[in-house]
Structure 1
């Protein structure tokens, strides 16, 4: 194979790989389905259908260190990282043998991704055992007790779910 043919082939393969990988990166979540069709055929009965979506986490930009007057080290030396995502969704449908009459055939439980998830990772705030240089001490720092603080993680979400009876599966 000539080198120009190999170069053209490599360019085509690269373009195809980029075209295939782009939708996966742009997706908000990964759909997951539990395959139970084989068990339905083996057992000769209707089984529940289970599916869902696993969301992808989107990290944000961290709040940088804040310089505070009178401190030797900046505040929030280890900044908190914000993370946003959707909640995982789930859909479960199971057959019901007409318990509530002839019109209801299945029970459905759904947890939609209608609400978002916002979180912040833990952070730390430290300060050294010396103060900032002081003019009354000829520019020398004064000793003090070191300080350490932990910034608590934050998690905000409003999950919801639905439960229903309906005809058909």
Structure 2
């Protein structure tokens, strides 16, 4: 095997290995749906010598989807959706707060906890539908196109989610 052939083969194998490693890294990063956000209050607790709430949150990572394409309708010069709708999936932020409760409700209740898990959110951006003032050629008008008023319409956006939260009191923080 010639040295130039070996060099070309080594370069091709290096490119394939790099592309495979990059695809593996990209797919694991794309699997993340939310990012945890801790709220550090330990320093304030020590400085004030007071028991403060424990808090943490989660921020969603929005993921755009494939746009819903245009639809061609017979008798129209322009497609039905000139600007297609873009679906975006993500979530509402979640949070968890546990606060001390100094026996206000009795000796068995030491804390109050509010938990709101991140919930899925599906959104569909608005689209635009346009009707041109000139139509298709008509046979009874000797091949001249029909005319009309231009029309434009907004395809309504959509937003779907089911948020949830729980409030708990109990012993211990």
TM-score (norm 2): 0.81
Map of 1:1-169 to 2, 5 A cutoff? Answer: 23-113=28-118, 115-169=119-173
SS for the counterpart of 2:135 is coil
TM-superposition CA deviations, 1:7-52 (whole Å, max 9, x none): xxxxxxx9xx968876544311110111111100000011111111
Provide the rounded CA distance (Å) in 1 between the counterparts of 2:103 and 2:125. 49
Instruction: Label 1:21 to 1:81 Cα distance change in 2 as closer, same or farther (>3 A).
Output: closer
What is the RMSD computed on CA atoms of the aligned residues?
Answer: 2.1
Provide the rounded CA distance (Å) in 1 between the counterparts of 2:34 and 2:165. 18
Provide the rounded CA distance (Å) in 2 between the counterparts of 1:21 and 1:27. 11
Gaps of 5+ in 1: 1-13
SS for the counterpart of 2:145 is coil
Gaps of 5+ in 2: 1-17
Provide the rounded CA distance (Å) in 2 between the counterparts of 1:75 and 1:21. 35
Instruction: Label 1:44 to 1:21 Cα distance change in 2 as closer, same or farther (>3 A).
Output: farther
Q: CA deviation at 1:126?
A: 0.4
Q: CA deviation at 1:136?
A: 1.9
Q: CA deviation at 1:146?
A: 0.3
Higher strand share: 2
TM-superposition CA deviations, 1:75-117 (whole Å, max 9, x none): 011011111123211101110001122221110001112x421
- Equivalent residue pairs, number: 154
Aligned to 2:10: none
Provide the rounded CA distance (Å) in 1 between the counterparts of 2:30 and 2:123. 21
SS for the counterpart of 2:134 is coil
